[in-house]
Amino acid sequence: MRKVSVALRHDASIGETDPRLFGAFVEHLGRCVYGGIYEPGHPTADKHGFRGDVLALVKELAPTIMRYPGGNFVSGYDWEDGVGPVEKRPRRLDLAWMSTESNAFGSNEFIDWCRLANIEPMLAVNLGTRGGDAARNLLEYCNHPGGTALSDLRAKHGWKQPHGVKFWCLGNEMDGPWQMESKTATEYGRIATEAAKMMKWIDPGIELAACGSSGRNMPTFGAWEDTVLQHTFDHVEYISLHTYINNYAADTSAFLASPDLMDGFIEEVVAIADSVSARKHSNKKIMLSFDEWNVWYRTRRQQDGGRVKPGWPEAPPILEEIYSMEDALAFGGACISLLNHADRVKVACLAQLVNVIAPIMTETGGPAWRQTIFHPFAQMSRFGRGRVLRAEIDSPTYAARYFDPRGATPVYFPLPSVPFLKLAAVEDPQSGVLSLFALNRNLEESMSLDVALPGFGQPVLDSALQLRHKNLKATNTRDKPNRVAPTALKEVRLGSDRMQASLAPASWNVIRLTRSR
Ligand code: AHR
């Protein structure tokens, strides 16, 4: 059994988690909208066609903000197609996913669904095939109270009250050659600036995220962020980041190490943003919107080349990644990376919500169930609110090489010193509950974890759960939806200013402590 010790710095926090750190993403892609959140005629659907079983699982997952309508889809989207009488809405070819878009679901339906789910909407504007003019019109349609053609049109469509959408993304992955009308950093920086200016003239209360490059190993990474922020700095609050981690190389240890690259990625983007700020002699801090993150690789090739089956299908079952136990572990590591950067990552969106690389799966006409990755996310969202404490971790390490094929040239990232323990500690200032999120990346050995909690006094156990399965390839299915689910973690011992636990090999653990009165 490996011994690992942690000293929690109660007096020193990394930052406070923003509720928007626990967001997710709904794209018009495959069966995410149609057959996912929206399926008129489904036995659980309400009068709007919103699936009740999916909604119940979404409430349990507890995302706080939802990005919509894309993703790659948004770069060819005419928002006007998705509003007004449904029977008059046009059917269109969607070139992002080689599908047919019926437009039966659009921005107003999305806002209604968000209100029902108690989630803040986040809208992306099309800066691919459209530009500032379409962006300002969509904003006026959504947020202007009334008395203009577009705001009155919203009222005529049935939504008298303005939607009050606060958070907007200025396009999506605009450096990606797969994007409709991708751009150079200078082209995008100019268009985003002009769109942002007009949008804020209409509604000064909104917040804007400029596109970062679509991945850390893109040839554009770094220079893109720098140029885009040089242009947009005065007009935006956020720069976006996207990461999908993978196990293409079938190397589980390297896969579980890969969230550490997310840590590096975040720190690099912070450094670039702060260097732009310094060169502008400004004390403004650009925050990070990690608005796409997840594990994704098995179904990823569908994005390239042939993509989906020919024939422009409607809501085809694409990108329906089935997540395993080991995916949930890597995913949990990514959750810890986000929590431990709460000072600068203020927004994050798990990509995506239902069916498409998602924590929730459905059968069209049938049931909905939780994938393995559902559990770490739900725990992070519920228990990750508060002050993230600094932790000094003394853990044995291992060496890994992580393969990432994205971009022009496949890259191996050397990770010479990966601590077996990855951990985040969050204290809820209201309840005083301390939540420890702990990933044991050792595939063979248990970990004897010793956490010093100076100043905490005598801890009392609130709950202790673990996610593990002897078969790292185990998945949840329609018929066996709870094969991978949290179970009680029994081996927790408490002493004055101290907590000790034995963590199983390859396990995700959430231990919650309160103080004795
Ligand atoms: O989430 C799936 C796709 O991944 C999104 O549409 C795109 O932004 C990213 O490349």
CB-CB neighbours of 11 under 10 Å: 9
Catalytic residue ranges: 173, 292
Atom of ligand 1 nearest to the CA of 172: 8
Atom of ligand 1 nearest to the CA of 319: 2
Question: DSSP letter string over 426-470?
Answer: EE-TTT--EEEEEEE--SS--EEEEEE-TT--SEEEEEEEEE--S
Residue pLDDT, tens place only, 50-91: 999 999 999 999 999 999 999 999 999 999 999 999 999 999
pLDDT per residue of the chain (517 residues) written in tens, 0 to 9: 889 999 998 888 999 999 999 999 999 999 999 999 999 999 999 999 999 999 999 999 999 999 999 999 999 999 999 999 999 999 999 999 999 999 999 999 999 999 999 999 999 999 999 999 999 999 999 999 999 999 999 999 999 999 999 999 999 999 999 999 999 999 999 999 999 999 999 999 999 999 999 999 889 999 999 999 999 999 999 999 999 999 999 999 999 999 999 999 999 999 999 999 999 999 999 999 999 999 999 998 655 444 567 789 999 999 999 999 999 999 999 999 999 999 999 999 999 999 999 999 999 999 999 999 999 999 999 999 999 999 999 999 999 999 987 655 677 889 999 999 999 999 999 999 999 999 999 999 999 999 999 988 999 999 999 999 999 999 999 999 999 999 999 999 999 999 999 999 999 999 999 988 6
Question: Is the minimum distance from the CB of 289 to ligand 1 under 6 angstroms?
Answer: no
Question: Is the minimum distance from the CB of 71 to ligand 1 under 6 angstroms?
Answer: yes
Q: Give the mutation target among 29, 94, 173 for probing the ligand 1 site: most ligand atoms within 8 A of CB.
A: 173
Can you give the pLDDT at residue 310?
78
3-state secondary structure of 405: coil
3-state secondary structure of 340: coil
Q: Phi and psi of 233, rounded to 5°?
A: -45, -45
| CA–CA dist 445, 470 (Å, integer) | 13
Question: Is the minimum distance from the CB of 27 to ligand 1 under 6 angstroms?
Answer: yes
- Identify whether the C-beta of residue 123 lies closer than 8 Å to the C-beta of residue 208: no
Question: Is the minimum distance from the CB of 351 to ligand 1 under 6 angstroms?
Answer: yes
Can you give the pLDDT at residue 302?
53
Can you give the pLDDT at residue 306?
45
- Residues 285, 291, 296, 299: is their CA dihedral positive or negative? negative
Say whether the peptide bond before residue 458 is cis (omega within 30 degrees of 0): no
**pTM for the full predicted model:** 0.97
Residue pLDDT, tens place only, 290-326: 999 999 999 986 554 445 677 899 999 999 999 999 9
Query: Length of the chain in residues, anyone?
Result: 517
